[in-house]
Structure 1
Amino acid sequence: MNIDVNILLKSFIEYLQIERNYSQYTIESYQHDINEFFLFMNEQKIASLTEVTYADIRIYLTLLYKKNLARKTVSRKISSLRSFYNYMLREKLLTDNPFSLVTMPKIEKRLPDFFYGDEMKQLFAACETDTSLGLRNYALLELLYATGIRVGECSGLRLKDVDFFLSTILVHGKGQKERYVPFGSFAHDALEKYIQNGRRLLMKNHDSHDFFFVNFRGGPLTARGIRVILNKIIEDSSLKGKIHPHMLRHTFATHLLENGADMRTVQELLGHANLSSTQVYTHVTNEYLRRSYMNHHPRA
């Protein structure tokens, strides 16, 4: 691809960062998806973005499916490219968006995975608390479970966003939306110990900044860094099977609903724009109740 396309992609990334306030992880996904399509254009001898047709996109979709990619992955790639073309429409660089004609593949519905209470205890037990990094990791786990915030929202948390008096955090969510989320006494104690005995030591050889969670060098902890830490905690625990860090968010929502929280409250705490995004957790709790009944009722 020529340099003009690279400049265009750079301006699109800046638009996602500044105007849409997307997380670094999301932006990297967009960038990867678009660069992948650029390679396809080179292979198909398509000289310009304006020359891409619906027929070309159909060929591209066929190649994606031949790779046995999940429908959700294909949908994400098409969504990235549709947004990229919409941006070019906005900038009046073309007159139509060929990706607007593409029907998204129907995504198979899967219930979100979550940790049971005993599994959460195993995760907390896997954290050491006698080092500065251990205190940070424990505080990280406590906060994610206590608030259900996304990993990207957690990495962007700053000192001023945490109110220890009211036990709340100000979360900067998707699309520049902000919300206040409370946290309980366990998270409160863990966060205070981290600030007093962990963060200060980690910041010893680093210039001052106000990001709440820091890495071992004292710099801001990235979303990718948080994922690495959580995966390590999971590895150190006795838990088996397929586990991913986003399960802590699912666990937060599921446990709230299981213990009587109403749907609207959980929606607000999670920062979901639509109630339909939250309703999936009712299926999880209903399935949990069904299994409990089948396992314990004498005439099940």
Structure 2
Amino acid sequence: MNWNHALKDYQDYLKIERGLSVNSIKSYSQDIQMLITYADENDLKEGPISITKDLLQQFVYEMAKKVNPRSQARIISGLKGFFNYLVFEDYRNDNPMDLIESPKIGRKLPDTLSLKEINALISAIDLSKPEGERNRAILETLYGCGLRVSELIGLKLSDLFFEEGFIKVTGKGDKQRFVPISEINKKYINIYRNEIRIHQKIQEPFQDFLFLNRRGAQLTRAMVFTIVKRLAEDIGLKKNISPHTFRHSFATHLLENGADLRAIQQMLGHESITTTEVYMHVNRKHLAKVLGEFHPRTNS
């Protein structure tokens, strides 16, 4: 088995067995492709079945000269998953990455926006332009429902269950969840689709997609990033924000106002509660308030 054959088999496994998205598979593949490129450039005769820990350790050492510790840790994690797959399929008896340690990195806390900053960004939208109503609906949905940008651009008219107060979201690995939607969020989506979108000439096969570009096609991730970046520049916001910042702010604000961590996990679509727990580290001020309000012996 050569490297490219092994990579193709692994990609099929991630897609079919693990149900991962195209973006996730691409990310995993990039880590392995780095190793393949290194093997080619150094004329290594060893393939995925025979490569040793020492050769992999040398590869990691070379990567450490080029990437930061966080990226290095991601590459090591990606390669461990790849060799675990080879062991699982009985191509190898061992995982040569098991004894290779990742660099120690601190937990990166997500950036957040205050409610005042979110309101300022939304207020900066030029509603005199047709795309203004769309952009307002986009920001309201990113913040109001805590969506990933990929989930936002994939949102369809058939996913809107406004009478029930929910939207159906398709997340990582095509896993679907229902997320509650507020009245103000419904209001701005309805303004966009009933006053702006209805007048657009929509291309095939995008009739069911909620958010469209000016050509009547599905909005791209890059366009949503551009919308957010330009609004930040317009109000002179010094923070480095992205569409994901609204998702972080959604979770942080819910937690600070007393929401249950499990409920936030469900709304965000996190498979593990440990992923959601990062928000416990963002702002601890509310924890003393929670203790004082709910612990039975606080005032004893």
Indicate the SS of the match to 1:179. Answer: strand
| 1:231/1:244 contact within 8 Å kept | yes
1:140 and 1:18 map into 2 onto residues whose CA distance is 32
1:298 corresponds to: none
Partners in 2 of 1:106 and 1:32 — Cα distance?
A: 22
Tell me the distance in 1 between the aligned counterparts of 2:76 and 2:129. Answer: 45
Cα distance, 1:34 vs structure 2: 2.1
Report the equivalent of 1:293.
Answer: none
- Count of aligned pairs: 287
1:85 equivalent among 83, 86, 97:
83
Q: Deviations over 1:25-63 (max 9, x none)?
A: 333322322222211111222232223211112112212
CA drift at 1:202:
4.4
Structure 2 distance, partners of 1:30, 1:251, is: 28
Inter-partner Cα distance in structure 2 for 1:8 and 1:201: 50
Distance 1:7 1:160, change over 3 A: farther
Change beyond 3 A, Cα 1:21–1:152 = farther
Alignment correspondent of 1:74: 72
Match of 2:229 in 1: 231
Matches within 5 A, 1:219-298: 219-287=217-285
1:1-300 maps to which residues of 2 (within 5 A)? 5-47=3-45, 48-67=47-66, 69-287=67-285
Distance 1:193 1:109 in 2: 40
Pick which of 12-21 and 138-147 moved more: 12-21
1:232-289 residue CA offsets vs partner (Å, 9 max, x unmatched): 3323332113223321111001111222222222222122233332233233231588
Unaligned runs of 5+ in 2: 289-300
Taking structure 2 as the reference length, the TM-score comes to 0.83
Post-superposition Cα deviations, 1:131-158, rounded to whole Å, max 9, x if no partner, equal 3322222211111101112222223322
| Cα contact 2:122–2:136 (8 A) shared by 1 | yes
Larger mean Cα displacement after TM superposition, 273-282 or 158-167: 273-282
Q: What is the SS of the residue equivalent to 1:153?
A: helix
RMSD: 2.7
Q: Please tell me the residue identity of whatever aligns with 1:149.
A: L
Q: In 2, Cα distance between the equivalents of 1:43 and 1:50?
A: 19
Superposed CA deviations along residues 151-184 of structure 1, whole A, max 9, x for unmatched, are 2222332222221212311222334433211111
In structure 2, relative to structure 1, the CA distance for the partners of 1:162 and 1:243 (3 Å cut) is same
The SS at the match of 1:272 is coil
Question: 1:127 and 1:32 mapped to 2: Cα distance?
Answer: 37
Q: Secondary structure at the match of 1:240?
A: coil
In structure 1, stretches of 5+ residues that fail to align are: 291-300
TM-score using structure 1 length: 0.83
More off after superposition, 237-246 vs 17-26: 17-26
SS in 2 for 1:169: strand
Change (3 A) 1:287 1:187: same
Higher helix share: 1
CA distance in 1, matches of 2:97, 2:200: 47
Alpha carbons of 1:189 and 1:66: their partners in 2 closer, same or farther (altered >3 Å)?
same
Identity of aligned residues (%): 37
1:189 positional shift:
1.2
Q: How far apart are residue 92 of structure 1 and its match?
A: 4.2
TM-superposed CA distance for 1:83, in Å, is 2.5
